[in-house]
Amino acid sequence: MRQRHLSAGAGVVLLCLTGSVRAFAQAPPPPAAPAPSPPLPPAATAPPPAAPVAEVTPATNAKAGEGWSTPHYDEGFVLVESPEGAELPFRLKLNHVSQFKYTNTMDVNRTFFDHLGREHEVLRRNDIQLTRDVFYFKGYVFDRRLDYNIITYTSTADLTATAAGYVGFVFHKAFALRAGFFSLPSLRAMTGTYPYFHGTDRSMATNYMRPGFTQGV
């Protein structure tokens, strides 16, 4: 009787151990420890606040718009002119002189006699002629006192076409030093009246003293 109770008790113990082992085997494994998180990057430095944009006042805007002047008239046609106070002063002005002449010799004798008594026909005229046509390109560059002048001159009276010019420095309104290719000084009637000629233009005596163009200082 005692052996039967022991056997039954051992079976109960074995059954409990077997159930415990099975329960332990069927139990889920413990959760794995979480991996350490990577170190956080250093906090980014916030950008400095943008500087406030100053509003452009009308006066500042007008000053910014200042620049090379548009073509205008100032004792000639100013084609290009730098603004006041520019680092490189420059000016180009065009002057033009054209002279038209109307000639009418129809009210004269048809013939004339020379000193030998020979008769000749008079070449009478009734026409309009472009006597002179002159273009002046002048101004200053680098300095307002450093001036230049370029001339193209044509004349049907003596059938000439000339290109001349000079460059010089104006020390005073009464004194300037220039060098280039230009007309020579001559009679006062040659320079003082141009281009405001008399009704008869220049006389034969004045044209006889015409010096022409040459280079010099």
Q: 135-165, pLDDT tens digit by residue?
A: 999 999 999 999 999 999 888 777 888 888 9
pLDDT of residue 184: 76
Q: How far apart are CA 153 and CA 131, in angstroms?
A: 11
pLDDT of res. 84: 85
Which residues, other chains included, contact 94 with Cβ-Cβ below 8 Å and sequence gap of 6+?
76, 77, 79, 135, 136, 137
pTM: predicted TM-score of the whole model, two decimal places: 0.57
Q: Is residue 137 within 8 Å of 94, Cβ to Cβ?
A: yes
CB 126 within 8 A of CB 105: yes
Residues of the chain with pLDDT under 70: 1-66, 191-195, 197-202
- The distance of Cα 7 from the centroid of its chain, to the nearest Å, equals 121
Query: Cβ atoms within 10 A of the Cβ of 90, count?
Result: 14
- Joined together, the tokens standing for residue 144 give 């307002």
With tokens 């008079």, the residue in question is 122
